[in-house]
Structure 1
Amino acid sequence: MATPTLVHRVRVIDQFRVTPPSGSVPETHLPLTFFDVIWDRSVTVQRIFFFDLSSSSHTKSHFLSTQLPNIKQSLSLALQRFYPLAATLAPSPQTGHNEFHYTDGDSVQLTVAESDSDFHALVADHPKDTAEFHPLVPELGSSDLSSFQLTVFADSGFSIGLTVRHVAADGSSIMQFMKYWAWVCRLGDESDSMNLPSPIYDRDLIPDPMGLKPILLDQISMREQMWKEIGIKLEAQQKEHMVRATFVLSRANIEDLRHRVAAARMEDTGKRDPLHVSSFVLTCGYMWACLTKARGHVGDRTIHFCFAVDCRARMSPPISAAYFGNCIWACHASVEGSEIASVKDNEGLVAAFEVIGRAIQRLDDDGVLNGADQRFPRICATVDKGEPILSVAGSPRLRVYNVDFGFGRPRKVEVISIEETGAMSLAESREDGGRGIEVGLALPESEMERVASLFKEGLGAH
């Protein structure tokens, strides 16, 4: 699999500090909940939204002169509603624990740049050098919680890159902000967006009867070395030539997997018990099997799959989807690598689907926070033993392709931060009416070749 060589010259044109309109947001203090504190270790999320500029009138200079003022103004109006993104994180004078603190004049950085990279090559699914994407995401200032970058390409396209500290917001909240910003930018009038739900910041909606916040703070502070070890391991991997690629499971592919697992369960075991086989489970199980085989994690070695679940609807009582902050918790599945190592063997796929589906079912049956005080130590123990963990960034439910700044849906959305975490990213498919699922991977080139071969082989066999 040859990796295209792209030119990635990016020139910064200007940088701005963008604030909410003066006086529009009062000074505010927001405490961190137990959902937030697990991310208070400088973990960042980086995404890039690529958009076409197909009209001949949208030259680079025309775009910057006509659209940049609107993008800046709409960002300011969006920050008025989503002010924590412009806030700072600092110890509370009362508790000594970190809290969000917004004062009038707090801001985010907006970088404006131009690039002569091949836009069409960047948005393709085939493997590309990961380094091509790094200049398209903004750096984050030491005291900033978020920053943004607009990059205009010479060949009819632009991108909006963002870097957000995870402690400020989970994926659902970030997408709530992006869709609102895009809505105001597209319509040019904030009043037209009044039918969009306003973000909710009430931290009293997140009860903590088990005292998880102090428990998690203690557990995390005791495991600083673990974070360093993970970083060292990923840095060593990234010394190899890393590439980024997208794998798409169409609706037809997903339905085929669903029929295969149902038939295999009946034929091999006669199982008639219900199994949670959503499109998410089928996609995750299939990719987990491909990666397990490609990485040689077979034999008597326990492997792990970890993904976040949105707890908003799972809280008691449920809280609004408009809650802004972090409200996700880890769901953890484990199995012996040899059980799922063959993507052509339906029995192996069934094992992968079953272990993920049952993990979700246990979470729904027992409650999302059951055993929450031991969730982080279990993950730490897995890391200590050197057992492989595959995690997930994003979700098809975020509907990232619904972000429209007035130029149509994104041509492509990439999660850049998976290079730092080793995760795979998930999003709804841009095509297929959004019923398929896109999987993003950033891997050493040789490993990506093996994954691509297994991915094709497993689907082509049926």
Structure 2
Amino acid sequence: MDSPSSEVKVVSECFVKPKTMPEKWKEPYHLSPLDHVMLSMHYIQMGLLFLKPSIISDSDDPISPKDFMQTWLQKLKDSLAATLVHFYPLAGRLSTSKSDDPRSYVVFVDCNNSPGAGFIHAKSNISVSDVVESKYVPLVVQSFFDHHKAVSHDGHTMSLLSLKVTELVDGVFIGLSLNHAIGDGSSLWQFFNSLSEIFNAQETNNVLLKNPPVLERWFPKGYGPVHNLPFTHSDEFISRFESPVLKERIFHFSSQTIRSLKTKANQECGTATTIISSFQSLAALIWRCITRARKLPYDEETRCSFAANNRARMDPPLSLNYFGNCISAIRSMTVKSGELLGNDFGWAALKMHQAVIGNTSEEISKTVEEWLKSSFIFHLETLLGSMVVHIGSSPRFEKYECEFGMGKAVAVRSGYGGKFDGKISANAGREGGGSIDLEVCLVPEFMYALESDQEFMSFVSSS
């Protein structure tokens, strides 16, 4: 499975517009400072794998798989059009307006001059078991998503949202690619859940969503839309990170294991008042074990970070349904490899806890103020450092709650976007109950060493 392009063939592709458009679609949809920094980041690519249902019919003539897929695809397309009514900026394109007198450089969403969101139907000759039972995530999974290797600035010519349906021999994969300048992981899964909600509604018109998105963009107090980025051309702030050859593997941690890790971390952290969370405990474990797998010299520095949803941390807090970017990378203190591995597990977990409590509204405001003084764009290669461990996504996102007439998804998978050596994505385990799946990306040498790490593998469950 090293040639994904030969295993996935596009059957059809089109653009989908919202069923109806609000008056605001004629106006420029401005990006916040927290959105602008993402212009050079990859599209977010997340998707769900479903088993095709048994084809049954009340009549004497069974429904053919072909007829089922045609009906199902049309319903999904109609549901997308209805969902875009609530998320209308996703049907737009990025646009840049420049002038010299007065000097101005602004990137915004143009909802007026766009063909809509992407909708692709593809087929593959592989089966569900080829995806979920392989030791490593097959390379073909990258072809289950549109906008391969695209960065957010490409939204000037590419759709800001693309939905790709790949029909497997016995399954269906729904892959979403979301422009990172338009939203973060919370935004993507809010859209995915809304699409599922509308798909399962008896009538797609005028559905009142349980969690309607808050589309009004956030700007710091006293500021409005950004009209003067310090650039004259996109070449000055766009770069294209190419990841090395990676091995990707899903490691499963049962709810019982997660509880035991939390207990162990709190027993060893050395303070009776601190309460270290389950996720902080798991982060400490993976940080220590990957550092050991990399065989770093004792004096080499390493750190662990993870993406944090800041909506509730803002002052005043933003709605949890705020649609856009509102995240930061919470970073542990940089420590020497020998110090991290020379101390016990609780010591590392305490470092993660301290990083989390340090992510205050004051720190977030400080970052925004720095951006307003000197605008910058994130570049993946400069954010990383060679020996970082970074955890993205979240087990709190309601991923397995998304259903599209085929029952509960059998797996969550992601695309090429944003991956590098040491990138980890955290998902809730399919069985729920606090279980967690970690999608770990490492260069082959480090992956093989991690798989031989007795401490790490003692916590990994077989299912």
Q: What TM-score comes out, normalization by structure 1 length? A: 0.83
Instruction: State how many pairs are aligned.
Output: 438
1:12 aligns with 2:27: no
SS of 1:309's partner is strand
Q: CA deviation at 1:444?
A: 3.0
How far 1:284 sits from its partner (Å)? 1.4
Q: Deviations over 1:236-283 (max 9, x none)?
A: x22xxx3321011211111111222222234xxxx32414x2122112
Structure 1 residues 437 and 153: CA distance shift in structure 2, 3 A: same
- Cα separation, partners in 2 of 1:43 and 1:6, compared to 1, 3 Å: closer
Decide whether the 8 Å contact of 2:12 with 2:121 is kept in 1.
yes
Over 3 Å counting, the alpha-carbon distance change for 1:119 and 1:460 in structure 2 is closer
Pairs within 5 Å for 1:395-414: 395-414=394-413
Q: Counterparts of 2:295 and 2:420 in 1: how far apart (Å)? A: 20
What is the match of residue 143 of structure 2? Answer: 135
Distance 2:442 2:350 in 1: 26
2:164 alignment partner AA: Q
Measured in 2, the distance between the counterparts of 1:211 and 1:367 equals: 21
What is aligned with 1:179? 193
- Find the aligned partners of 2:370 and 2:21 in 1 and give their Cα distance: 44
Q: CA deviation at 1:381?
A: 13
- 1:424 matches 2:424: yes
SS at match of 2:334: strand
**Which residue does the alignment assign to 1:126?**
135
Matching residue of 1:70: 75
* 168, 174, 197: which one aligns with 1:153: 168
Residues 75-114 of structure 1: pairs in structure 2 closer than 5 A: 75-92=80-97, 95-103=104-112, 106-114=115-123
- Residue 359 of structure 1 pairs with residue 373 of structure 2: no
Whole-angstrom distance in 1 between the partners of 2:33 and 2:312: 17
- 1:186-197 mapped onto 2 (5 Å cutoff): 186-190=200-204, 193-197=207-211
Aligned to 1:264: 268
Match of 1:253 among 254, 257, 262: 257
Report the CA distance between 1:459 and its aligned residue. Answer: 3.0
**Map of 1:225-374 to 2, 5 A cutoff?**
227=239, 231=241, 234=243, 237-238=244-245, 242-266=246-270, 271-275=271-275, 277-339=276-338, 342=341, 347-364=343-360, 366-372=362-368
The structure where helix makes up a greater share of residues is: 1
Superposed displacement of residue 172, structure 1 = 0.8
Q: TM-score, normalised by structure 2?
A: 0.83
Task: Rate the CA distance shift 1:151–1:252 in 2: closer, same or farther, 3 A.
Answer: same
Which residue matches 2:35? Answer: 36
- C-alpha change, 1:410 and 1:340, in structure 2 (3 Å) is farther
CA contact (8 A) 2:239 2:379 kept: no
Are residues 1:167 and 2:163 paired? no
**1:376-406, Cα deviation, whole Å (9 max, x unpaired):** 99x9899499552222221112121111112
Partner of 2:59: none
The alpha-carbon deviation at position 451 of structure 1 amounts to 1.6
Distance 1:92 1:222 in 2: 12
> What is the root-mean-square deviation of aligned Cα atoms in Å?
3.6
Quote how far apart the aligned CAs of 1:107 are: 0.5
Instruction: Mark the CA change 1:224 to 1:60 in structure 2 (over 3 Å): closer, same or farther.
Output: farther
Q: Secondary structure at the match of 1:181?
A: helix
d(CA) in 1 for partners of 2:282, 2:227? 36
Displacement after TM superposition at 1:182 (Å): 1.1
Pair 61,434 (structure 1): closer, same or farther in 2 beyond 3 Å: farther
Tell me, in whole angstroms, the C-alpha distance in 1 between the residues paired with 2:204 and 2:379: 45
1:114-137 C-alpha deviation (Å, 9 max, x unpaired) = 1111211202372133x2212211
**Aligned AA (1:246):** I
Residues 382 and 91 of structure 1: CA distance in aligned 2, closer, same or farther (over 3 Å): closer
Give the secondary structure class of the aligned counterpart of 2:365. coil
CA distance in 2, matches of 1:35, 1:86: 20
Deviation at 1:357, TM superposition (A): 0.7
Query: The residue matched to 2:69 in structure 1 has which SS?
Result: helix
Q: CA deviation at 1:102?
A: 0.7
Quote the offset at 1:78 in angstroms: 0.7
- Evaluate the alpha carbon distance shift between residue 312 and residue 386 of structure 1 in structure 2; reply closer, same or farther with a 3 A threshold: closer
In structure 2, the CA distance between the partners of 1:253 and 1:455, relative to structure 1 (3 Å rule), is farther
What is the CA distance between 1:170 and its match in structure 2? 0.7
Instruction: Decide whether the 8 Å contact of 2:27 with 2:110 is kept in 1.
Output: yes
Decide whether aligned partners of structure 1 residues 404 and 386 sit closer, same or farther in structure 2, where only a CA change above 3 A counts: closer
Question: Contact 2:194/2:209 (CA < 8 Å) preserved in 1?
Answer: no
Judged with a 3 Å threshold, the aligned counterparts in structure 2 of structure 1 residues 144 and 189 are, in CA distance, closer, same or farther, namely same
* Residues 348-357 or 24-33, more deviating: 24-33
Partner deviation per Cα, 1:188-246 (whole Å, 9 max, x = no partner): 4235841423211222x43255999799x559x99968956xx25x3xx22xxx33210
Give the match's secondary structure for 1:96.
strand
Structure 1 segments unaligned to the other structure (5+ residues): none
Displacement of 1:68 in angstroms is: 1.0
Give the whole-Å Cα distance in 1 for the aligned partners of 2:380 and 2:439: 27
Cα shift readout 1:5-45 (whole Å, capped 9, x = no counterpart)? 99962221111111112555641322111110110125211
Distance 1:256 1:296, change over 3 A: same
Contact 1:335 1:355 in 2 (8 A): no
